[in-house]
Chains A and B, each alone.
Chain A
Amino acid sequence: MDQFIEQIITGLSIGSILLLVAMGLSIIYGSMGIINLAHGEFVMLGAYAAWMFHTYLGLGLLASLVPIFLVVAAFGWVIERYVLSLLNNRPLDTILATWGVGIMLQQAVRLMVGSELRYVQLPPALSDSMDVFGQSVSSYRVFLFVVAMALFAATWLLMNRTTVGMKLRAIIQDRSVAASFGINAKRVYALTFAYGAGLAGLAGALVSPLKSVSPDMGTGYVVDAFMVVVLGGVQSLAGTVASAFVLGELSGAIAFLQNDTVAKAIVLLAIVVLIRFRPEGLFTARVRA
């Protein structure tokens, strides 16, 4: 029983990291139809920003979260404005363009800060462990779970309870009709992309104390995040949450029974089959086509 609870908690922990990384991707893909292969690099930028704020300004991780969000969001805004907005109606080409941008970001960081591994300190207040259902769990992992859920709530409110969110939903339904009602689609898209990038940056900063920071750390995340988005279904934020935790539990469980490699292979295969038979994702209700 203890082992079972431990497994569940491990799964939740993996799931909350997946959710953090996938949320920005889900918003960008779901609302703009852009497959953002530079997403992993936004995660990486966030992690490096955390390291830099700490090393050069002496800021702790928690204090630098807001500036990190803003910095990475600014990167996202520039990229949307000067690269992606030129690629309207060419969804396949956005894969290529964002991948090129990703390479540039990765190389630029490598040239400027070097490719050696960097480490970010755990916030001292969260470095102990606490008791959850009779299990001792690191406080930081509990914190990550809480932050992931809080960010999800904030994003949901932003999409469904604010004017910008309403404009975005109008554009998703019909861009030209929305535009004829005076909505500035370009501006909303740029803001959306910036927000998604900012979330990725936050994710990078938040996972940086758990893993080492390197220029190519984003590559692994982007693949996992994609699987979450595909499984959860495009345009469904709640689906992203559900699939992040399902995938988290699943990879935790298979890794426990077999090994990491097998876990990864099985999850990937399951997703391939899923795309074929349910391309709209597991957690979306079929609305009108």
Chain B
Amino acid sequence: MSLNVSTSSGLQRLTVQLAPLLIVCALVFALPVLLNNDFLLNKVARYLVLGILTVSLGLSWGFGGILNLGQAMSFGLGSYAMAMALKLKTVPVHTGADGLPDFMVWNNVTSLPWFWEPFRSLTFAVAAGMVVPALVAAALGWFMFRGRVTGVYVSIITLATMVVLNLVIIDQQSYTGGFNGITDLAQLEIFGVAFDAYGRATYYLVSGCVMLSLLVAFAFTRSRAGLIVQAIRDHESRVRYFGYDVALYQIFVFALSAAIAGLAGMLYTVVMEFASPTFLGVQLSLSVVVWCAVGGRQSLVGAFLGAVLVAGVQGALSESAAFLETWTLVMGALFVLVVLFLPKGFAGLAQAVWRWIVQRRHVAGQEVTPGVSQTEGST
């Protein structure tokens, strides 16, 4: 990870690490040219959003060593923020006086609750969709990491917190839509561009966010803070003895990861046209962990592709129940095998193969400089 070997080799390594990321982004942007089917594009956009969510988990788990089993909580918060704003913009057919959402009318709520009020502004909602998850994560992180809670206990606390929020949302039906979630939403409209779930605009919005979050995550892992976070993952007490405030760095990566997950949640509402308590359910949250592990938890591109491909195949097979059930069985087996034999996922495998090829070339060309082995790139 030494950046100051020489400028040219540093730059070269940066290019090598960025290349897969940029190639994947280019493919994502180019897809509508090849795939002229709005229905399928909507599905792909959905998997891309899940990819962003998985990248956010990779950031805290793969790089920070924080196995957050409640990653879907941030996702759900983002999703509800967007849904609340879009609900208040619906054409008032079923709505009550002053645009009161329909489910509130059914539940005999007479005026808009105070925490819904600011969501009349879309700008506020978009900001809240990322800031609220980040703040919640920072508070939870402060609570956990200041008390030096580590390992398994972090997983239990994050999972339990998510379940509590899920229960509260389902229970408070008159304010949250309860079990049904928030449905029947208006279209998102920014600067006069309407984002129809089945339109190209939405697809490109999602693609842009894919690229943005991959780049932000990549920049973070290359930054000083990012390196310290990785050092904490590998040897927490050693970093502490160096005088770093370990908890602060952990809280930061935890909150950053939550903000990206919140962004993914907002996009998910736009693509799916509703928000539901299942978006912060245990099922989704654990699926994200699987995607991340299979793709490669220490590789941003790997985690992204893991989610898109696995969720994509699952979606394609879901037409037939028998296929889907067999697939789930295969998926469980694949997951166990990856955990046992490929702790770095398929991205780790790809990196190993790549290194092997490069080394073979060097040996063949007789230009091996002894002692200089390629350090592994963590793109």
Q: Do A and B bind each other?
A: yes
Mask: chain A, 179-204; 1 = CB below 8 Å from B; 0 = not: 00000000000000000000000000
Pick the most buried of A101, A110, A268: most chain B CB atoms within 10 A of its CB.
A268
Provide the residues of chain A in CB contact with B170, threshold 8 Å. Answer: 261
Mask: chain A, 253-282; 1 = CB below 8 Å from B; 0 = not: 000000101101100110110011101000
* Residue B171, interface by CB 8 Å: yes
**Among A90, A111, A219, A271, which residue has its beta carbon within 8 angstroms of that of B325?**
A111
* Residue A284, interface by CB 8 Å: no
Give the complex CA separation of A102 and B331 in angstroms: 12
Provide the residues of chain A in CB contact with B139, threshold 8 Å. Answer: none
Asked if A279 and B156 make an inter-chain contact with CB atoms under 8 angstroms apart, the answer reads no
Asked if B67 and A95 make an inter-chain contact with CB atoms under 8 angstroms apart, the answer reads yes
Number of interface residues of B (CB under 8 A): 36
Asked if A107 and B325 make an inter-chain contact with CB atoms under 8 angstroms apart, the answer reads yes
Provide the residues of chain B in CB contact with A92, threshold 8 Å. Answer: 67, 151-152, 155
Provide the residues of chain A in CB contact with B339, threshold 8 Å. Answer: 87, 93, 96-97, 100
* Residue A170, interface by CB 8 Å: no
Min CB gap B149→A, angstroms: 6
Provide the residues of chain B in CB contact with A289, threshold 8 Å. Answer: none
Asked if A96 and B289 make an inter-chain contact with CB atoms under 8 angstroms apart, the answer reads yes
Asked if B147 and A103 make an inter-chain contact with CB atoms under 8 angstroms apart, the answer reads no
Minimum CB distance partner of A277 in chain B: B147
* Residue B34, interface by CB 8 Å: no
| Consensus secondary structure, chain A interface | helix
| Consensus secondary structure, chain B interface | helix
Asked if B153 and A100 make an inter-chain contact with CB atoms under 8 angstroms apart, the answer reads no
Min CB gap A93→B, angstroms: 5
**Among A226, A230, A268, A276, which residue has its beta carbon within 8 angstroms of that of B144?**
A276
* Residue B175, interface by CB 8 Å: no
Pick the most buried of A90, A96, A102, A108: most chain B CB atoms within 10 A of its CB.
A96
Provide the residues of chain B in CB contact with A268, threshold 8 Å. Answer: 160-161, 163-164, 167
Give the complex CA separation of A111 and B155 in angstroms: 31
* Residue A158, interface by CB 8 Å: no
* Residue B199, interface by CB 8 Å: no
Mask: chain A, 88-131; 1 = CB below 8 Å from B; 0 = not: 00111101110111111001101100000000000000000000
- Interface residues in A36-66 by Cβ distance below 8 A to B read none
Provide the residues of chain A in CB contact with B293, threshold 8 Å. Answer: 96
Asked if A99 and B286 make an inter-chain contact with CB atoms under 8 angstroms apart, the answer reads yes
**Among B149, B163, B282, B290, which residue has its beta carbon within 8 angstroms of that of A276?**
B149
Provide the residues of chain A in CB contact with B168, threshold 8 Å. Answer: 265
Provide the residues of chain B in CB contact with A103, threshold 8 Å. Answer: 328-329, 331-332, 335
Min CB gap B337→A, angstroms: 8
Give the complex CA separation of A108 and B331 in angstroms: 12
* Residue A25, interface by CB 8 Å: no
Minimum CB distance partner of B140 in chain A: A272
Provide the residues of chain A in CB contact with B356, threshold 8 Å. Answer: none
* Residue B157, interface by CB 8 Å: yes
Give the complex CA separation of A219 and B286 in angstroms: 12
Give the complex CA separation of A93 and B282 in angstroms: 18
Asked if B335 and A96 make an inter-chain contact with CB atoms under 8 angstroms apart, the answer reads yes
* Residue B116, interface by CB 8 Å: no
**Among all A-B residue pairs, the 8 with the closest Cβ atoms:** A103-B332, A100-B336, A104-B332, A100-B335, A107-B329, A261-B171, A265-B167, A268-B160
A and B contact pairs by CB, cutoff 8 A, 30 listed: A35-B152, A83-B336, A83-B340, A86-B340, A92-B67, A92-B151, A93-B339, A95-B152, A95-B155, A96-B290, A96-B293, A96-B335, A97-B340, A100-B333, A103-B329, A103-B331, A103-B332, A104-B329, A107-B326, A108-B329, A110-B325, A111-B326, A219-B282, A226-B156, A265-B171, A268-B163, A271-B160, A272-B157, A272-B164, A279-B153
